[in-house]
Structures are given as C-alpha cells and as structure tokens.
Amino acid sequence: MTEQYVLDLQEVDAAQVAVVGGKGAHLGGLSGIEGVHVPGGFCVTTDAFRRIMAEAPSIADRLDQLSRLNADDREEIRTISAQIRRTIEGIVIPGEIEAAITRALARFGEQTAYAVRSSATAEDLPTASFAGQQDTYLNVMGPTAILQHVSRCWASLFTERAVTYRQRNGIDHRTVHMAVVVQQMVFPQAAGILFTADPVTGNRKVATVDAGFGLGEALVSGLVNADAFKVRDGEVVAKTIAAKQRAIHALPAGGTEEVAIDSQRQEQPALTDAQVVRLVQLGRRIEAHFGRPQDIEWCLADDGFQIVQSRPITTLFPIPEARDQENHLYVSVGHQQMMTDPMKPLGLSVWQLTAMAPMHEAGGRLFVDVTQRLASPASRAALLDLMGRGDPLVRDALETVLDRDDFVPSLPDAGPGGPPTGAASAPIETHPAIVTQLIERSQASLDALKRDIRTKSGPALFDFLLEAFEEHKRVLRDPLSMQAIMAGMEATWWLNDKLGEWLGEKNAADTLTLSAPGNVTSEMGLALLDVADVIRPRAEVVAFLQGVEDEGFLDELAKLAGGTEARDAIEAYLDRYGMRCVGEIDITRPRWSERPTTIVPVILDNVRNFAPGAAERRFEEGRQKALEKEQDVLSRLRALPDGDRKADEAKRMIDRVRTFIGYREYPKYGIISRYFVYKQALMAEAERLVQANVLAEPEDVFYLTFQEFHDVVRSQQVDDRLIQQRKDAFRSYCALTPPRVLTSDGEAVTGAYRRDDVPAGALVGLPVSAGTVEGRARVILDMAQAELEAGDILVTSYTDPSWSPLFVGIAGLVTEVGGLMTHGAVIAREYGLPAVVGVEQATRLIRDGQRIRVHGSDGYVEILG
C-alpha cells in the first residue's frame, strides 16, 4: 500500500479519523454539508507522522519510559515529553512528504496565509473531548514556515498536558497519531463559539453563542470577555454585551498581534441578533449532520459565516429515549438508591426487570418519568410532598419546572393521588409480630429461590429467572410490607412535626430512634465490631491482615495461631452480609463474598479504635438515650395544656416508630440477598461461555442486557464489537454527573435549598441526624481506602448500606447525595451520628484532613481550616 501523505479537505469524510485525526475528519465532514462554508485546505495524514516517528528510533525508548510513569510524576513527564518534542522538531522532513505539502500549497497559492492546526486521532471523539490538548498556529506564510509549523504540530502530541491527559485516561501513547490540517486563513470582523445545546444546563433546545471582534483566539485563550447570546426557537431570548477591550488581528507579514479596540466600539455587539439567529440555523444543520450537539468555532467575514471547527459536546448528560415527542420530566433513581455511579448494562436491565415502576436508562443511570403524576393536581401534591420529605432539592427542581406553565400539562384529577402523609389513621396496629412475619415470608421466598435455582442452567435458567423476578416483585409489593415501611416513616414525620410544634424540639425522632430493634443494616455495622473482638487478641492474625492483598486470604488464615477462629468469624459475617457491596443495586458490582479484602481495612480500624464488647455497649447506650429522651419528652408534654392527650399520642407514635423504623432497611437486604443468588447462577453461565470460547472473559456479560445474555446462551454467539462499544460508553459515563431531575429537552435541573439562616461560607445540606460535632474531615470515595481514627467525620459522595460498618467508628457524616429516609440517614440516626446530606460538591469543597463542624440539626457544615 502506498503512503498518502496529503489529502484535500474536500476528499475527507468524517469516518477517516485514523487518517486525518479528529479535527481533520470533522472538517472533512463539514465540507460536505450543503450551505456550510469551510476555509479551503488540506490534511497532512498520519502516514506522514508515522514516517517521521520511524526516522528517530530513540522516541520508542522514551515512550517506554513514559508508559511506566504515574500521571502524577510531573517532573519526569515534563523532562521526557520535552525530549520527544525536541527530537521530532529536529527531524528533517523527508523529500516525498515535503514535495506533497509543497504541491498542495501551490494549488491554494504559496503566498496565501494559512492556519496550521494539529489533529490527533484521539481528539474530538464522541466520548472524549481533547479541546486544547494540541496546538494551532495562525497566519503562517510561505512553504518554509508552514513545514516548520507542521513539525511543531507533530511535536505537540507530546506536550506535557497532552501526555498527562492520556496517562490519566489510560490511553496508550503509541495508539495516538498526529495529522495536521493546513487551511486558508480567514480574516474575520468577528469570531467565536457556538454551542448547539446549552453547555451549562444541557438544554438541547437552547443554543448559546459567544462572540468577539477579530480572531477567535482572543475568546478561546480567555483574553477578552465575549458577548453572550441564547437562542431558542429561532429567536434571541437572552444576551449580554461585554466591554471588549482587546482583539487579536493578523499581521501582514505573518503571525498575529493583540490590539486595543476603540472605546466607542467596545460595547457594540460583535453580531446583530439577526446574524446570531442565522448562525444558530447553520449550527442546527451541522448538528443534524453529525447526529449530536456540537461545539462549533466560527468566523464572520464579509457578512458570511465560515466554520473552522466542530466537535461533539462531551459533557452533556444523555436524554432517556421516549416513544413520543411530548415533554417528559425524569427523576434520578440513583439519588433515591444512594448510587449515582453508572451501572453496566446487565445491572441496568436486571434492576429494570425487578423494579416496581418503569425505569428509563440514560448515561448508565436510571430515571423514573414523573410527568403523568405531576400533571394531575392531587397526585402532584402527594408526589411533591414525598419527594420534599426525602430530598428537598428534587422537590425544588420539580417545582422550578412546574412554574414554567407550558412544560407539564395540567390534567383533571383522576382520583386520590397516593398515600396520605398524616400518620393518625395508620392502617396497621403497632405489633412487633408483624415485622417478624414479614421477615419470615421474605426468608422463605429466598430459601425457595436458592433451592429451585440449583438445577437450572442454559436457556432454562433465564426462563426461570424471569419467573423469579416476578416473585421478587411480589415480595416487594406485599401490602403489609409497604404499610410497615410507611408506618415507621409517618411516625417519624409525626414526631418531628408535633414535638417541634408543641415543645420547640428539632428532629426529636433522631434520638428516639437510637438503637431501634431489628435494623439489619445497623446490626451489620455492629457485627463487624464483634468480628474485631475475635481478631484483636490474636497478634499474628492482625499482622497478617495488615498486609493482605489476595482474595484467597481466608484459606491462609487457618495456618496461623488463632487463625481458624478469625477465619470462622469473618466467614460467619460474610454468610450473613457478604452479598452486600458499594453500589449494590448494580448486580455486576463485586460483592464482599467475592472480594473479602474490601472489609479488612474496616476490621483493622475496629481492632485499633475500639475496646472489646463495643457492639453491645454501643447498642445499649443508644437504647438508654432513646429511653431517657422518651421519658423527658413525655413529662414535658404532660405539663402542657391538654398534656395527657398529647403525651398519650406521642407515646403511641414512639412505640410505633421503634417497632417499624428498623424494618425500613429490610426490603433492600432482601433484594440484595436475592441479587447474589441470581448473580452466582448467571456467572456460572458466563464461565461456561468462556470455556466454549464464546466469550473472552466472564465479566464481558456485564456489558450485555439480560435479554442479550439470554440470546448469547441460546445461540452460543456474541458480537464482540457490541461489547467493546458498551465498554467505551461505560467509561465515558463515568465522567458524567447525573442530575437529580432531567427534562426531555436535556436540561439538568438543579434544585436549591432557598435558605437564609445559614452562616456565610457554610455548605448547605439537609439535616438528617441531630447534634453538632467538630472533627477532622476524612474525604473517602472508596470504602476499601478508609483509614479512620476515633472522632473523624466521614465526607463522601453517597452511602448505601455497605458503608454502615464504617459508621460505628466515626463522629459525623457529610454526603453529597441523600434524603431524610435514605439508608445513610436512617443508620446515622440509629448510631446517634450528627449528619448532613445532600451537600452539593462536598467532596470537592472539603479537603481531606480539614477541620469541619457538622450541624446535624440545622443542616449545614462549617469549614474551620
């Protein structure tokens, strides 16, 4: 095959990324769109780059050195990347490449001014935007200068910033090649950037235009503030005209200069409204061609727009697919389930098949469409009340959208809109036997599942599982179970509302629910203290556990003095709780039983930070505090007018909350227990597929939906490209932050707390567990990395039940996600930990090791330094 060193832009299409890089391919695609003007030019292909790299064998050694470095070894990266750049720029361009470039220049005119732009093969892809990673040179004139700048563009693949970016994102330096785009210069009156979707809110129906005088580099480099326009439905709906004091202009002999703008022109708009609307229409045509929202660099010259760049906007959160063109409003499931990370396709589909409501996928997350429930006034009030009690930010976001009269249609009431929120007419009696009966029913269903699944394999397993999913939903739908959960929650709300009104008590239920019986999640935390009691006196075991890395460590334990007892204690714990893990609603996540090393750091923290018998002591202390609080509240109520009635009502509610609040955690335990049984059967199928050479590795099934997995087992064939695409998509979803509320226009609606009773500089959140505590913040994103000391305050993004073993060793809790009745909040109250949840960006705003004060009753966090 003969190398092709130069391609005319008109010959290039968007599929040729490997030949002309991301920028070149996009420009080639743009050139083919009717009505879109792209400055003429050509691409120096990646064949030329590979030829240059082959001229200097020393580069291969340096790339080997780079591949061994950590992304944080900045000095080393700086030194090696500079050496590579110097080597590339020093290579004499081979005659054939020089001749091909010179011939292309002759076609456009040798003395024409050109822009020379780097175009890497990993740049401007749908899943990763590398904007600004490589170099652009403007107003370059003459063949000698152009060849020199082509060399610089090749070298720019190895700037420190580009190298670090690839190291951080796991991109092999050898797989990325550099093409160079050489285009005729445009000398514009105005230039700027057009986003065909609002990059801040994500709204796909709103386009934003930034505009300034002269060349667009002034905006891109941050030299000037731009005029900003927002366009919706063909009209400018908002604009800000900036004082544009400087611009970048081309010099006649080549190069550019910064110039001051005449004071009379500084506040004139760079574009008229009509021009802005015309530009957005062009942008919409480009967006339609590429099939996704675009970030477009444009120039205005002689009243005509020229497009010099277009790349996908990679930061937008995807929109769930809908079967109609109507407006839809979606609420994040992850924020309710304390799991905002992306889920893999198998995890998504199994959760959808076992969920109580239809769920829609976008960006690796699940959403519930609440449009219909918001359309009718009665169901709207019930939904908003429920959401508001759980997470005020969701309620506020929904109300923000409802305030726009036209987004959610109003329908006549179709009847009552959900459960009443008052607890007075609760439908079940307060009796512990109800909870016992519910747990027995759930356990019997789980035992039957374990018994019946043993004999199932192949396609028959999948048919069996579809039936098991129906039984799963039947257990969840058990009316008695729903009544028990609501009874505990409603009693909590009643106590907080009434004791607040009668006694001025804030969040009194927090203390009254300390050490409530039967809470499987808080028992899980205390049980790990008992495991630590077994291990603490056995010095050899403690020393061994400190160095554990291999998942088979339990077998090794038996060889040590006291190791058999330690192993038995850990295995007994895993028998009861080993189906749990962080992000447990995703069936593909590794369970503690599959990765027992996860709980070792927590066991060692407990060994270090607690004395023997701590679990029983902690539980009893909590129970006593709750009892004292009850006596205190009841005696104060009796002293009030009509006090005996108030005290009797409160006593009924206290008994009720202590009877039912612990059960709140059980259905999730039941779900996750069933999930582990499903997973073990599914992974046995995956292993069979590997043995039959259908799959490369068992975990590949995680990137198939349940139905696709079923089809693969039936056909014994798999589409490897589909699995690779899904892996790439999952990686890109990890970089996205899911919104609490999302519209079908793509707008991520962020709610606000709307409070003015918080000290300046404090971080606002939702108060979920009373008390104030001051201590060292430990910002921990991975439970396995936790090293906690007594008195530490845990700061993390979210806490599902798997985090509760850490709760026994901390003094307070701050999370970015959460609500009044989410798992972290329930367990924090049970352990008596002051807690504030729903603190936006807490893990970024609070630094590990800072001293902070958590106001668990008032819902804010102060950073003390």
Strands of the sheet containing 6-8, edge to edge, are: 6-8, 41-44, 178-184, 113-120, 136-141
Residue whose pair of structure tokens reads 């936790």 in the numeric block: 786
Q: What is the DSSP string of 545-590?
A: HHT--STTHHHHHTTSTTHHHHHHHHHHHHHHHTT--TTTTSTTSP
What is the C-alpha separation between 566 and 571, in angstroms, rounded? 9
Q: Are 740 and 338 in contact (CB under 8 A)?
A: no
CA 683 to each of CA 346, 548, 711, 732: distance values in angstroms, whole numbers, following the listed order: 12, 26, 15, 25
CB atoms within 10 A of CB 192: 26
- Of the residues 26, 328, 472, 823, only one is catalytic, namely 823
Terminal alpha carbon distance of the chain = 64
Residue 258 C-beta-side C-alpha neighbours within 13 Å: 10
What is the CA angle 155-157-162, rounded to 5? 130
Helical residues (DSSP H) of 95-205, grouped into ranges: 95-108, 143-155, 160-168
Q: At what angle do helices 392-402 and 377-390 cross, to 10 degrees?
A: 150
Q: Are 258 and 213 in contact (CB under 8 A)?
A: no
What is the C-alpha separation between 813 and 834, in angstroms, rounded? 7
Q: Are 583 and 340 in contact (CB under 8 A)?
A: no
For the record, the structure tokens of 782 come out as 């991975």
Strands of the sheet containing 206-213, edge to edge, are: 235-240, 227-232, 206-213, 190-195, 294-301, 304-312
The gap from C-alpha 73 to its chain's centroid, in whole angstroms, comes to 27
Q: Are 25 and 17 in contact (CB under 8 A)?
A: yes
821: left (phi over 0), alpha (psi -120 to 50) or beta: alpha
Q: Which among 116, 114, 122, 182 has a CA at the least distance from the CA of 157?
A: 122
Give the contacts of 379 (CB within 8 A, at least 6 positions apart): 372, 373, 413, 414, 417, 418
Q: 660 φ, ψ to 5°? A: -105, -20
CA 182 to each of CA 20, 44, 406: distance values in angstroms, whole numbers, following the listed order: 11, 8, 48
What is the C-alpha separation between 612 and 624, in angstroms, rounded? 20
What is the C-alpha separation between 42 and 31, in angstroms, rounded? 12
Q: At what angle do helices 539-546 and 520-535 cross, to 10 degrees?
A: 120
Strands of the sheet containing 360-362, edge to edge, are: 360-362, 365-369, 329-332, 741-743, 748-749
Residue whose pair of structure tokens reads 């007594």 in the numeric block: 790
What is the C-alpha separation between 133 and 74, in angstroms, rounded? 16
Active-site residue flag, 823 = yes
Q: With H, G, I as helix, E, B as strand and everything else as coil, classify residue 438.
A: helix
Give the contacts of 406 (CB within 8 A, at least 6 positions apart): none
The torsion defined by the Cα of 512, 517, 518 and 519, in degrees rounded to 10, comes to: 40
What is the C-alpha separation between 479 and 33, in angstroms, rounded? 59
Q: Are 316 and 739 in contact (CB under 8 A)?
A: no
Q: Are 637 and 503 in contact (CB under 8 A)?
A: yes
Q: With H, G, I as helix, E, B as strand and everything else as coil, classify residue 743.
A: strand
* Residues annotated catalytic, as ranges: 823
